[in-house]
A and B are shown apart, each in its own frame.
Chain A
Amino acid sequence: MASIYSLLTDVKSGTFFDHFIAENNEKYPAELMNIVGRLKRIGNEDSALTVYFKLDEGLDWDDLVCALYDTPDKHLRLYCIRLSKSIIVIGSGGSKNVRAWQDDVKLSREVNEMMHYSRIIRTRLKNGDLRISTDGLRFEGDLLLTK
């Protein structure tokens, strides 16, 4: 089992993952369904095994930013912060039709955003404002990352 979190910056517009669904639902319904089904499996049955993700997508060696694949011949990418096998934070992403995400403005923004929030989360975990429960499955403490 694993817990899957997302980020919320504006209650009205929803979480980053809501943005991801809204942006891709019409154009990539099957790919989106596949990603949601995989997240369901990760959350309910498996844990977030490293092999399910494309690791080291961020620029910093310790940012834990990775991407969740959809079907192999498709290109929809969901960027995540994989904190452990039991906790992931999912963000947004998009269709990757370039060799590297740096070559795409939208994907660059999404990855940089995840790197930014990863830094905040890891700092807050280090200073104790944010903690991980003893079973490893939940964040505890102040979930408001920026004030």
Chain B
Amino acid sequence: MKSFDEVGENYSSDLIKDLLNKITPEEQEQIDYKMQIAKMLYMALKAKGWRNIDLAEKMKLKSPSLVSKWLSGTHNFTIETLVQLQRLLDIRLLNIMPDANSTTLNVKLIVDANRAPLTKDDLNHLQQVIDDAGGLQPTIVTVTQ
């Protein structure tokens, strides 16, 4: 049997290795998401200078212990709670809804100096493409030679 001095910092454990190998990528992803949400809540609370009890009051919770649970990174949140937390803490926890302020529509605009200026039909066509993509208002940029 090896002595402690022989093992030193090179100790390795088959038990730990086996357990780490048993966690599926899906299970780890679920853990990661829960902990990431907790971290974002923690950072947002710090940024606002709020304590757990402040958030509990704003969320109309009976006890701040639920906030501790949220921050522990083990909680399964409902959509209702996440939406409420987003609004109160000014953070984005769910990124599936289109946001008029941040959505970018990539439009390839080819400028050809030999072509006639954009006609009303061209603009209507461009508006149609933009409408189909989500109904954003186009910004017309005048390109001069």
Contact = CB atoms under 8 A, between A and B. Distances in A.
Contact of B73 (A17, A22, A25, A51): A51
B87 to A, nearest CB: 21
A18 B7 contact: no
Given A15-B11, A51-B38, A144-B4, A36 B16 contact: yes
Interface stretch (A41-49, A102-110, A119-127): A41-49
Contact of A69 (B9, B28, B72): B72
Interface stretch (A6-14, A57-65, A93-101, A128-136): A6-14
Interface in B25-80: 27-28, 31-32, 35-36, 38-39, 42, 68-69, 71-75
A54 B35 CA distance: 15
Contact of A49 (B7, B22, B31, B42): B42
Given A15-B11, A17-B16, A40 B3 contact: no
B13 A14 contact: yes
B39 A49 contact: yes
A69 B28 CA distance: 16
Interface in B1-29: 1-5, 7-9, 11, 13, 15-16, 19-20, 22-23, 27-28
Nearest to A5: B9
B72 A18 contact: no
A80 to B, nearest CB: 14
Nearest to B11: A8
A143 B9 contact: yes
A82 to B, nearest CB: 14
Contacts of B39: 46, 49
Contact of A33 (B1, B15, B27, B72): B27
A21 interface: yes
B122 to A, nearest CB: 49
A17 B23 CA distance: 17
B52 to A, nearest CB: 9
Contact of A51 (B15, B27, B42): B42
A12 B2 CA distance: 8
Nearest to B20: A36
Interface of B: 1-5, 7-9, 11, 13, 15-16, 19-20, 22-23, 27-28, 31-32, 35-36, 38-39, 42, 68-69, 71-75
16 contacts: A11-B1, A18-B16, A25-B15, A25-B19, A36-B20, A37-B31, A38-B35, A40-B28, A41-B32, A49-B39, A51-B38, A51-B71, A51-B73, A52-B73, A69-B72, A72-B69
